[in-house]
Structure 1
Amino acid sequence: MKQNAIIWPEEYLPGTTDNYCSNEVIVKGLTTLDIWPLLNDPFQWPTYYANSSDIEFENNGQTEFSGNTRFRFKTFGFPIEAEITEHVPPSAGEPARIAWHGWAEGDADTKLDVIHAWLIEDLSGGRVRILTQESQIGKPALALATQKPNPMINGHQDWLDGLVAAARSKQ
């Protein structure tokens, strides 16, 4: 069985940036339709992922992502400005996708630039695959890449585990 992959802009191609992390879970008993609403509505993130806070949409009143949505949030201690770059809701036989370009303004020592992408796809046997990957550029990314344990890998695993638990609690 072929599994789908994240679509990367060339500048953020894994292995060419200052930091890259990839986390994935495959779980039985959930579908893309169970996961999507929890990920597509960032105001729900803090209910299952403690490392996200202060979510704001540039267009006040909007609560879910759509193409080119601009938003802000805090994660890993960084205030992040972000814009949705890929938004593909679930459809039969195709993976759902969300990706955003995020950045933290600053000088050469504090500026951070990332692409964070998600792929959610239904698999045979009543399983769902949730893949999240992030590719980062900047000195803060270099610092994160050398920390042990890796805070990005551990943080994103917490996000995945919380997302799955939240989806299960809504069944």
Structure 2
Amino acid sequence: MMNSIIWPVEYLPGQTDNFVSNEVIISGLNSLDVWVYLETATLWPSYYKNSADVVLNNAQDHLSLGTEFFFKTFGFPVNAEVVEFIQPQQNIAGRIAWYGWSGEGDTRLDVHHAWLIEDLSHNRVRVLTQETQIGQPAKELAKTRPNPMLNGHQEWLDGLIEIASTHSKG
């Protein structure tokens, strides 16, 4: 059985203004091959064009539990805090999740963005990313076609897999 995202109650999919889910399963990589490029937030702009100006408060370039950080994405300046961080290990899925916020009043957007990276049988890795959003901008994004969140997160996944594959020792 595959793992799933752990949601805070206020961010449960179906209860928020917008929800997107993207997933890839690929052979020839393991969870640690992928993990390093996700936890090292300062690398995001190198493989995901919709990410810019990543700044972490912990004087390092990688995320950890409690790390506060800033980045720009989808035209939004986002402040965020890592609320879940479990590095993948044998038989344990890797998990990174952050709470992010941007704007005030009618432009306020609150999000919970979660990632799950797990090794599967037959030398495969699964990367799942899901995000829920609350606020007027989320309502507008949910109606936009093509869906910028769905397509943007797919680009993030594709870039993550490409950089991990390029640098994999396996």
Does the TM-score normalized on the shorter chain lie above 0.5?
A: yes
Aligned Cα root-mean-square deviation (Å): 0.6
Aligned length: 168
Measured in 2, the distance between the counterparts of 1:123 and 1:13 equals 26
Q: Percent identity?
A: 57
Equivalences for 1:87-166 in 2 at 5 Å?
87-107=85-105, 109-166=106-163
Measured in 2, the distance between the counterparts of 1:165 and 1:3 equals 23
The structure 1 segments of at least 4 consecutive aligned residues displaced by more than 3 Å after TM superposition are none
Measured in 1, the distance between the counterparts of 2:102 and 2:93 equals 29
Measured in 2, the distance between the counterparts of 1:40 and 1:57 equals 11
Matched, 1:50 2:49: yes
Aligned to 1:81: 79
User: What TM-score results when the alignment is normalised by the length of structure 1?
Assistant: 0.97
Measured in 2, the distance between the counterparts of 1:105 and 1:82 equals 12
Note the residue ranges of structure 1 that are not aligned, 5 or more in a row: none
Measured in 2, the distance between the counterparts of 1:31 and 1:149 equals 32
Matched residue SS, 1:162: helix
Measured in 1, the distance between the counterparts of 2:119 and 2:31 equals 6
Query: Which digits, 9 at most, give the CA deviation of each residue in 1:63-84, with x for residues without a partner?
Result: 1111100000000000000000
| Counterpart amino acid of residue 7 in structure 2 | W
Note the residue ranges of structure 2 that are not aligned, 5 or more in a row: none
